[in-house]
A and B are shown apart, each in its own frame.
Chain A
């Protein structure tokens, strides 16, 4: 009872990275709270064949299995019924899920059904106490759900003092994925799906589905050339692609650049995009809103190219080049080629 639960996203038998990252974080939070780490896997028969070996090394104490071919691919209503039913029985204190399309579809529905609070897109999760002076009450060991808010201009610390579970979603790449113990073995509990879902949960039918492996992989790229609103246009973004091509890098973008249509959404770096930790991050015309910096501050070397010497991002950059990207990038290409020959 009162343990920490992680909802696992499973696509074609593979547990998503974001779920494994949350197990890693969940393991450390559970250790701090002295409670168990439990995971929920709801999928078709084929999707669950290799589930145990994938999740136990992350320190899962109890794995809840819901096996039914109607549960894959994911659909809102049956997965909601499973979580709500399981949570009513198990009374978890915390539930974590990915801030993915699935997690952001499922989380709010479950939170509404249970009347529990949910915080989206957390960038940090901690355990701590809270003193409510007005009520004269002290809450022990709450989950601090920390996230940028207001378009990333401030950071809010959110708590759910009274309702359980305390629910939070976290984007892929924000937490680190790490084995707890490669030989760890928890307990598996298989539930009877029919006890949880109703016939009405299957009214929405998926009549077509086309999934392809993403062509853009900025998360794992060692070098990222990233552009902001200051790049000015989609055409100017070509300069970034040229530099990236020469350096063997991926092109990233700030939210403002994506909103302006300069780059595709898959390239967005930041709290509402992808969190990256490359060897080199070259920020071109990016001013550096908090929500962007939250997604790239752990880069080893940050180079900022900006015509504004006071751009906020400059304060966290190792190298600051003050100038126009139209002038600077061609020179970078030229001198890279010259010195690698």
Chain B
């Protein structure tokens, strides 16, 4: 038995290591100061996909991402780890999409891909933390969803068994294929890049990348189709432009604020015995502790 697997991945700014220069003076985010990375939980999802491929050789993995041209980096990261194919969904008309418009665009791309058994994605992306796109894609495709997945236990007779990590425990569910699964950060970490695949796919590019980087070698790209990363626009996936991007987003940002917290009059203490004993005494005397 073989399966068609789609991994939904997102390139995100690394919000975990935000330095002081991450915000501009006007309170907007200085994206240039943040490195762009493979969304961490999407890597957990990637590992689940690779695991299915290990168990059922001949299964294929397609990485699908939506973003600007540079998001093709994510597709190569996927190929380096064992994906078979990568598709970049990119178009100005996708810009400004909220989760609903994003899930619409992704679902149209998935319809164009056609056959799928399992769609895996990270539980949420670290730049938005919404956890909404996975379930919304599932709804748009009319298939069940399994969120907060920690492990795909087995696939048998057209059914998949998945362990979910809940707040206070675990749940094991069984669901007919096809299905959308969102994977938790508590799942196994993704395997590293494979050296052979790194060499094979190092020069895999989208057409736009080849143009903007002035890469020639037309013969090589023609003779090695695996080096051509697919790029799809709104028109390519036959999406309704009104339902994409800003116009397809029911939620709007009214304003963005740089938060200033009410500063307190702080007492400055040294790390020496005198100051710390005084602090502890004060807290004990006021019955705050003890």
Contacts and interface: CB of A to CB of B under 8 A. Distances in A.
A154 interface: yes
Given A76-B144, A153-B18, A203-B176, A315 B281 contact: no
B284 A279 contact: no
Contact of A108 (B132, B270, B276): B132
B76 to A, nearest CB: 24
A48 to B, nearest CB: 21
B196 interface: no
B16 A209 contact: no
B190 interface: no
B228 interface: no
Interface of B is mostly: mixed
Given A112-B103, A204-B175, A335 B280 contact: yes
Contacts of B268: 320, 322
A314 to B, nearest CB: 6
A154 B253 contact: no
A214 B167 CA distance: 8
A151 B144 contact: no
Contacts of A170: none
B280 A339 contact: yes
Contacts of B269: 319-322
B122 to A, nearest CB: 13
Interface string A287-317: 0011001000100111110000000001111
B289 interface: yes
A89 interface: no
B27 interface: yes
A304 B186 CA distance: 30
A156 interface: yes
B259 A290 contact: yes
Interface residues of B, number: 79
Given A76-B144, A108-B131, A112-B136, A209 B261 contact: no
A76 B166 contact: no
B271 A324 contact: yes
Interface stretch (B58-66, B85-93, B108-116, B145-153): B145-153
B147 A319 contact: no
Contacts of A180: none
A112 B100 contact: yes
Given A120-B132, A160-B250, A280-B289, A321 B276 contact: yes
A118 interface: yes
B29 A153 contact: yes
A120 B174 contact: no
B58 to A, nearest CB: 27
A202 to B, nearest CB: 10
Contact of A340 (B170, B261, B284): B284
B99 A265 contact: no
Contacts of B171: 73, 206, 208-210
A112 B140 contact: yes
A155 B256 contact: yes
Contact of B129 (A120, A206, A223, A316): A120
A148 B129 CA distance: 10
Contacts of A336: 280, 284, 289-290
Nearest to B182: A105
A120 B123 CA distance: 13
A119 B251 contact: yes
Contacts of B15: 150-153
B157 interface: no
A300 B281 CA distance: 17
B252 A265 contact: no
A322 B126 CA distance: 31
Contacts of B134: 108
Nearest to A120: B130
B146 A111 contact: no
Contacts of B144: 76-77, 203-204
A323 interface: yes
Given A105-B135, A107-B132, A319-B279, A279 B267 contact: no
A151 B126 contact: yes
A205 B174 contact: yes
Contacts of A80: 139
A331 B146 contact: no
A159 B167 contact: no
Contact of A157 (B147, B255, B273): B255
Contact of B270 (A115, A117, A151, A322): A322
A207 B16 contact: no
Contact of A212 (B140, B168, B175): B168
Residue among B129, B134, B148, B172 with max Cβ neighbours from chain A (10 Å): B129
Interface of B: 13, 15-16, 18, 22-23, 27-29, 40, 98-100, 103, 126-136, 138-140, 144-148, 161, 166-176, 186, 249-259, 261-264, 266-271, 273, 275-277, 279-281, 283-284, 288-290
Interface of A: 73, 76-77, 80, 100-101, 104-105, 107-109, 111-113, 115-121, 130, 144-145, 148-163, 203-214, 223, 247, 255-256, 259, 265-266, 271-272, 279-280, 289-290, 293, 297, 300-304, 314-324, 327-328, 331-332, 335-336, 338-340
Which 9 pairs from chain A and chain B are nearest by CB? Answer: A151-B15, A323-B271, A117-B250, A208-B172, A117-B251, A108-B132, A211-B169, A112-B139, A163-B250
24 contacts: A76-B145, A77-B144, A100-B167, A109-B136, A112-B136, A118-B99, A118-B251, A150-B29, A150-B128, A153-B23, A156-B253, A156-B257, A160-B250, A204-B144, A205-B174, A255-B16, A301-B288, A315-B266, A316-B262, A318-B264, A332-B276, A336-B284, A339-B277, A339-B290
